[in-house]
Homo-oligomer: A and B are copies of this chain.
């Protein structure tokens, strides 16, 4: 026994008063235009030829019924989502929100949509979010993922094309967009060395972050050039920078280098509270050059990097991979030293 289709119901309830009237389907349009659903589809997709006569009727009926195709049905049929996913550690961090802005701008320009997940700096949440998103999207951009390599592999194993931002990996299936943290940190260190600094405290970022490893690599290299660097466990938030600052001062440095501008701004707040003059007593550096770095009191010395470009490149790698089946590769974004007011000549207080 065949169940009746709802639309074949004997009580059609024509134009029900105000109810949440069911969305029009292609069959409604077909009926209204007195053509077959296939013809409606052909008119609307515009791929196959249809006579002007019918085309008119269909268009009229479609707009009259406010018809728009059901994306879920299209996705099911075509296997394409027209959607990409982005996972970021913290949307409140201007670095990531600007990267995200870059991705969305690119995606929107090609009529793609963006699903976003904020992992709250939690590697497991990051992995869960990525795995869940993988079923909903054509491709995934993972920003500064902190998850272990094994979990990253698991994400890649879903078969969803993957772009990682600021994460090294040998997996040949994964595209990479990397910032030159090593070069940026080297320049910052040399800048401090030139100012006579010999002993600096470094507010460390998340240990799992690839970019953190790059920075530390540069710091070790600077050690050989005469800069003594003391690592202070910190984190990637403003609050982390705020809290780690006092510990950093206990090491009697003449300068504090922060993982990022976001962290540095937290540190700057604490330094002001403690009555430590910057750069009089202590110099301070950040990284990323977020828009507010320039405004902070003396203006933060940092390494600038084009954040929206990072997002745009992430989108482009994904797009080219999806459309042209290009092989994954790596693109590197440069960073440049920006000297502002938080760095000055070393004046050891001891």
Chain B residues with CB under 8 A of A159: 20-21, 23
A318 at the interface (CB under 8 A from B): no
A149 at the interface (CB under 8 A from B): no
A153 at the interface (CB under 8 A from B): no
Which of A29-37, A110-118, A179-187, A206-214 faces chain B?
Answer: A110-118
- Chain A interface size range: 35 or more
Contact call A297/B297, Cβ cutoff below 8 A:
yes
A243 at the interface (CB under 8 A from B): no
Which of A131-139, A223-231, A244-252 faces chain B?
Answer: A131-139
Chain B residues with CB under 8 A of A118: 101, 104-105, 108
Q: Enumerate A246-291 residues with CB–CB distance to B below 8 Å.
A: 265, 268-269, 291
Contact call A114/B116, Cβ cutoff below 8 A:
yes
Which of A3-11, A72-80, A140-148 faces chain B?
Answer: A72-80
A195 at the interface (CB under 8 A from B): no
Contact call B114/A115, Cβ cutoff below 8 A:
yes
Distance, CA A122 to CA B118, complexed state (A): 25
The smallest beta-carbon distance between A134 and chain B, in angstroms, is 9
Chain B residues with CB under 8 A of A135: 68, 70-71
Contact of A70 among B71, B76, B108 (CB under 8 A): B76
Distance, CA A21 to CA B158, complexed state (A): 10
**Majority SS of interface residues in chain A?**
mixed
Which of chain B's residues has its CB closest to A238's CB? B291
Chain B residues with CB under 8 A of A105: 118, 120
Which residue of A66, A70, A72, A75 has the most chain B CB atoms within 10 A of its CB atom? A72
Chain B residues with CB under 8 A of A104: 91, 116-118
A50 at the interface (CB under 8 A from B): no
Which of A53-61, A92-100, A326-334 faces chain B?
Answer: A92-100
The smallest beta-carbon distance between A326 and chain B, in angstroms, is 15
Contact with B along A175-205 (1 / 0, CB 8 A): 0000000000000000000000000000000
Contact call A91/B100, Cβ cutoff below 8 A:
yes
Chain B residues with CB under 8 A of A20: 159
Contact call B297/A83, Cβ cutoff below 8 A:
no
A17 at the interface (CB under 8 A from B): no
Distance, CA A330 to CA B47, complexed state (A): 46
Given contacts A108-B118, A295-B296, contact A92 B97 (CB under 8 A): yes
Known: A71-B135, A114-B115; 9 extra A-B contacts, CB below 8 A, are A71-B136, A75-B75, A92-B94, A100-B116, A104-B117, A113-B115, A113-B133, A265-B292, A295-B295
